[in-house]
Amino acid sequence: MEPQAAPDDAESPPAGEAEQPAEARRRPLIERIGMALVALVMAALFAAVSLASFVGGELFLGVMGAVGCLMALWVGTLTLLRG
């Protein structure tokens, strides 16, 4: 059995660093619109939970639902604009 040669450390990237593509490609517009619509549906569900919780007297759950709604809207907007 022959010993195998060790890989050259000078050519490999440091541990934990992934190789970046030469040019980052944006997602197609239709895909970004679709993902933003999914985020909008999730935001509507969080808003419904938030409203129902506030009406039911559960203030903490209402605040958490509102925060979830805002975060979903934020991510959907970033997905649509930045791609």
Residue 23 domain flag? no
- Confidence category of residue 8, pLDDT binned at 50, 70, 90: low
Residue 13 domain flag? no
DSSP, residue by residue, 8-22: PTTTSPPTT-PPPPS
Number of domains within the chain:
1
Residues 14-55 have pLDDT tens digits of 666 666 565 678 889 999 999 999 999 999 999 999 999 999
Can you give the pLDDT at residue 24?
Answer: 73
Residue 51 domain flag? yes
Q: Name the residue range of residue 51's domain.
A: 29-60+72-82
Residue 3 domain flag? no
Residue 12 domain flag? no
pTM over the 0.75 mark: no
Residue 40 domain flag? yes
Residue 2 domain flag? no
Residues 66-83 have pLDDT tens digits of 999 999 999 999 999 986
- Confidence category of residue 10, pLDDT binned at 50, 70, 90: low
Residue 44 domain flag? yes
